[in-house]
Structure 1
Amino acid sequence: FMLAFVAAIARGRYGIATFLSAIVPMILVLETEWLWSPVSGLLPLEEDNIVGVFPGHVQGPTLVLCAHYDTATQFGDHITWARWMPIVGLAVALALALSLSGLWQRRWGRELPRMLRLSVAGFVLVPFGAMAVFFSAGPLVRTPSPGALDNGGSVAVLLRLAERLTLRPADAPTTVKLVFLAAEEERALGSWHYANMLREKQSVGVINLEIVGASDQLAYVLEEGFALRRYHPSDSLVDLVRKTAQKMWGQPLAARRLPGAMYTDGRSFLAQGIAAVTLMSVYEGGPRGLHSARDSRDRLLVPQLERTVELLAAIVASMDRDPLILRTR
């Protein structure tokens, strides 16, 4: 679209340029804010969520413990992207202003100087080209990311927890679902699809794991969401997690904001009205080097993974003792 915009500006086709510069932000909002796929859906790729169920009473609560199992190989990371995103917004605004200025000048029988048109159009193209390199060129030329922090450690926690859950009594009241989510790296589409399936169910809570094992301290995410929509975690789940941590470790979990342009699968559940909270390792500024060969197993702190398993097992036990502890509606 932006290459077509530059070509239209170079030829003085301001009407076409205006249309293109207006439709690009609309597509970006549809794709990233509302998770529709008018462009990316033209090349569909199917991935699967994997769900393991430890059934409880039919009328009992359901606790979903989830982590995404996919990773990506790209140039840059969430800190790099956060620096470029405002420039993308500025570029879109300049593209629209240039197109409308050209139409206005032509109405009065004048033309914008060609050098001005090409200079502004070139600037507009730069951030879109940079983002294309960040997201698309990595898999072609870089060593694949092992995905240890993002998000192998969290997946390992759920697999270890599965061993614990097999020891629960057969009449345990809480249904526990271990969900390994696909497509988190593609706008969190896997969790969005799964959350849509949960939306009508009652007494459901979701604990999402992200970058667990990156440090020796665990926290819950204070706020997450989209560019135009922000959500806070469920009060009842935050209370349950904090009290369980207080009982086990002598102090409650701290609250932390997501660094940079990072998002998690937690936003999919919160946006659809499902009680949820995301747990992640505390790391000032966020761990760097994700989506690259630097995201290797030696960066994982295994004791922290085991501590997280213990915490989740204790949360399940608390819900089994008091099924009404999860107030989600």
Structure 2
Amino acid sequence: MKILVTGGAGYIGSHTVLALAEAGHDVEVVDNFVNSSAESIRRVEKLSGVKIPLHELDLRDEPGITALLDGAGFDSVIHFAGLKAVGESVRQPLDYYGNNLEGTLALVRAMQAAGTRQLVFSSSATVYGDRAPVPYTEEFEPLDSTNPYGRTKAMTEQILVDLAAADPSWRIALLRYFNPVGAHPSGEIGEDPNGIPNNLTPFIAQVAVGRLESLTVFGDDYDTADGTCERDYIHVLDLVDGHVAALEYLAEHPVGARAWNLGTGTGTSVLQVIRAFEKAAGVPVPYVVGPRRAGDLPVNYADATRAREELGWVATRGIEEMCADLWRWQSQNPQGFKG
């Protein structure tokens, strides 16, 4: 299968590109490198022994993406490209609506012109907002995110649902995933955020490797086992397997647009993650407890029954393996791809 991966130089994208290349697919990447590095693709090529064509392009450049797709014979697109920091989206909503929505619209128009009708979209559990009962199920409506980032995901899902309803030749997977963690076991590729990390585990890793002084735990008085927030952490390789399973499912099933949760179905607390990482790394992770952060929910995790029953997909890697792989990446690359 010939596959274009947008945002393929990023964290989840690069791991997916590697898996696809190792499986024998013909893969190309388009990325604007706003929050990624071409070095990740060079390392994917090293691991896979496969040359990966890399196109530096912003998806909002509609003539550019149209020219890339025109006549190229792509069978499918996996769409990761987009801005993704919740806090930043609150401060810079126009950047998020402009980038994430305009980029997707340009992409699907280019796909339509090229006759490519199969799309796997990187959505997010943030589409469920703060009113969905736990565990989250795909049947919950209406989607009601609490921040601009999540709203761009929910809006994009609606655009794609409407598109598939208008033109049944489209086959679209909407993958709502939870908290990606870990790295490739080789330590060659992993998460390398620009600036101060927005997510828990890369922050922990940078504290452990000495780049940051300490971690702030936002609240320890929630109604959970140890008072800290619980989230559904999923190994990035399990997430990759979910994308491959969705790709294969779309090739065989004319489903229109359909959503699947990708999660473990288990909540793990902030303190449990810290302890698991300390055990994996063999070093302490200093932290202080701060006040609750606005918008944080006590608990969220997935009901991944639909993915198991329809895609044949189940997350198999636990938090210990996630932390061990993350530490291998961070300890071998203290400055990420820059060092």
In the superposition, the TM-score normalised over structure 2's length comes to 0.28
Instruction: Name which one, 1 or 2, has greater alpha-carbon Rg.
Output: 1
Structure with greater helix percent: 1
In the superposition, the TM-score normalised over structure 1's length comes to 0.28
- Higher-RCO chain (CA-CA 8 Å, sequence separation at least 6): 1
